[in-house]
Amino acid sequence: MFKVSMSGVRSFDRVPDGNYQLRVEEVKSIEKFVKIKDKLGAEQETKCRVISCSLVVAAPEQFQGMIPSFRHNVKFFGDQFSWHNGWAHKFLKAIDQPYQSAADGTLEVEPKNWLGQIFYAVVVSRQDDKTGKVFQYLGDFEKATHATP
């Protein structure tokens, strides 16, 4: 038997579905293989960069400081599947980061600059048909300065 302090542990909460102001609290960058459909609809496996974001509710006040029970994963694909970068483009714009590519078509992304960025998002819950488990995700998001919660 042993004793351990749990005083610094923050709990993860399922926030009610709705509009929230969220803040990026932590980012982790990983490369992974994912299955994706090409332009002809055929499924292929490709490597992509995934930035996994831990989020905290900034508003409304009654949920302030809650940590949603999910991480938001932003995926960046290479040239072969670049048209799949639309959600990443929209997320970068929402967190006030560079989102337009240079003349050569490239964009430099610096995930550590995402820390502390605040944006509005719609949190949605969905029940998995096979397992019955309820999970949450961001249904949409936009820049905090132009949104109404």
95 or 7, which is more confident? 95
Write the single-letter amino acid at 122: V
96: left (phi over 0), alpha (psi -120 to 50) or beta: left
Mean pLDDT of 17-42: 90
| pLDDT for position 148 | 44
69 or 94, which is more confident? 94
Q: Per-residue pLDDT tens for 38-55?
A: 888 888 888 999 999 999
Mean pLDDT of 64-89: 84
